[in-house]
Amino acid sequence: MIRVRFPPSPTGYMHIGNVRTALFNYLYARKNNGKFILRIEDTDKERSKKEYEDDIINGLKWLGLDWDEGPDIGGPFGPYRQSERLDIYYSYINKLLNEGKAYYCFCSEEELEKDREEALRKGLMPKYSRRCRNLTKEQVQEKLDKGIKPVVRFKTPLNGEIIVKDEIRGDLTFPLENLDDFVILRSDGIPTYNFAVVIDDALMKITDVIRGEDHLHGNTPRQILIYNALNFDIPNFAHLPMILGEDHTRLSKRHGSVSLKDYKNEGYLPEALVNYMGLLGFSPENKEKEFFSLEELISEFNLKNLSKSNAIFSSSKLKWLNHKYIEMTDNKKVTELIKKYINDQFLVDDEWLKDVVRLLKEHIFVLSDINYILNDIFNPLPLDNEKIVFLNEQKNLLNEFLIGLENLNQWNENEILNLIRDTGKKLGIKGKNLYYPLRVAISHKEEGFEIYVYIYLIGKEETKKRIMEVINS
Ligand code: GLU
């Protein structure tokens, strides 16, 4: 059975890169009737925070990616939070120590720093000198007795090579002479990522490790060394190409929001994000198709169609897609959603909100857009001089429209549109000569959505007030 995992470190808010990794693992599990496991990698005590863990868990739920085993629901291979698994790690550290596959290292920070500097001076890649690799039992005991707190290092074989078989990249060879004896247990008793991840993946019977390519060179060969040393089965690896911004540099704040919560707060729909992220580095068979539900992504997904080249994240494309999803969502649902985004000052009542959605939905790209649209409507900028001069010549039209408004007995967009047309007919004007002055007088702007919609939304009294202001100026 396929078993995959998403093991975030709760050292920051759920990142857009995490979303893609989680999604691809989820899709792979669901496609193959496998299991999707959530594991919290919180060994970095200083940087891990409960707030971030909650953010990740809530983010996954919001996206609709449910897991089969995890810290909140347990499972047969728990606990699923690394900070609760320390004893498990110690037993394997001891096993490696006893078998001579790992060793205590007592080198101080200063010594290591000196080594590093020396290597750099000689133009060599800094590597641990292996000074403690061959300490005798007595030497080790003596140092332990002195109270020196050691780290534990993995005894990397001095020659040979590690071959990483990657689903996306093919076979990659890593000569062991380039790897040093890396730390697997820190002096504070906390295992390093490369060690804990192997123990967990092996004990949780993970079959496929699908993660970012940033792990491929530095981590995967080291992890394979540990698998080998403990006689664990090595999972399949698929290292996903990186996500870059449109300028082809690594995705960062400069390219827009990178945290999932920011997208949620701005009013992106989870369906749009899932659709967009699902195609970031994955090509479905039908390359023309743009809209994929989560279900459709599941049925499309396979490792073969993962891309080798870096994926480009386009926030404008995502926004466009979100817009399309809002358009496709029925008005009732959009009304419900938008209620969470609309500022109190703009919320007249539920009926009004229904109208707002019906009339403005096509102008909304992210749900929070509603606030700037309504702000534009209700708090227009004052008219500038040029517009005042122009409107001075339009008083005839404005007066006529005002009279018509007074006599309107129903208030809906059709009636308003008819009134505009009738006013035009009466005065013998149409097209731009009719609509443009009304638009400028009422909205104070030269463009925007249909003026009859605008008038309907601000209401009769406000429309009259704005026209009067112009007439009296
Ligand atoms: N905690 C690691 C990270 O967030 C997990 C990497 C992995 O998938 O092995 O980068």
Predicted confidence (pLDDT) per residue in 322-332, tens digit: 999 999 999 99
Q: How far apart are CA 179 and CA 397, in angstroms?
A: 82
Q: Is 75 exposed, middle or buried (0-12, 13-18, 19+ CB in 10 A)?
A: middle
CA separation, residue 38 to residues 43, 56, 57, 73, 278 (Å): 15, 10, 9, 10, 19
Catalytic residue status for 253 = yes
Give the nearest ligand 1 atom to 18 CA.
4
Q: How far apart are CA 287 and CA 306, in angstroms?
A: 13
Give the nearest ligand 1 atom to 5 CA.
8
Please say if the pLDDT value at position 349 is more than 90.
Answer: no
Please say if the pLDDT value at position 173 is more than 80.
Answer: yes
Q: 209 CA to middle of ligand 1, Å?
A: 10
Q: 14 CA to middle of ligand 1, Å?
A: 13
Q: Report yes or no on whether pTM surpasses 0.85.
A: yes
Please say if the pLDDT value at position 348 is more than 80.
Answer: no
Per-residue pLDDT at 439: 97
Band of pLDDT at residue 254, cut at 50, 70 and 90: confident
Q: What is the pLDDT of residues 378-388, one digit of tens each?
A: 999 999 999 99
Q: How far apart are CA 288 and CA 291, in angstroms?
A: 9
Q: What is the pLDDT of residues 199-233, one digit of tens each?
A: 999 999 999 999 999 999 999 999 999 999 999 99
Q: 7 CB under 6 A from ligand 1?
A: yes
Q: How far apart are CA 204 and CA 181, in angstroms?
A: 26
Substitution site in 39, 194, 201, 211 for ligand 1 pocket (most atoms within 8 Å of beta carbon) = 211
Task: Tell me the sheet residues that pair with 208.
Answer: 4, 236
The active-site residue out of 114, 253, 308, 333 is 253
Q: What SS3 class is residue 236?
A: strand
Q: What is the pLDDT of residues 71-102, one digit of tens each?
A: 999 999 999 999 999 999 999 999 999 999 99
Substitution site in 215, 227, 234, 240 for ligand 1 pocket (most atoms within 8 Å of beta carbon) = 215
Burial string for 103-130 (b: 16+ CB within 10 Å, else e) reads: bbbbbeeeeeeebeeeeeeeeeeebbbb
Give the nearest ligand 1 atom to 41 CA.
1
Percent residues over pLDDT 90 in the chain = 93
Per-residue pLDDT at 286: 87
| Eight-state DSSP code of residue 101 | S
Mean pLDDT, the chain, whole residue set = 95
Comparing CA positions, the residue from 4, 194, 187 lying closest to residue 82 is: 194
Pairing, β 3-6 against β 35-38 = parallel
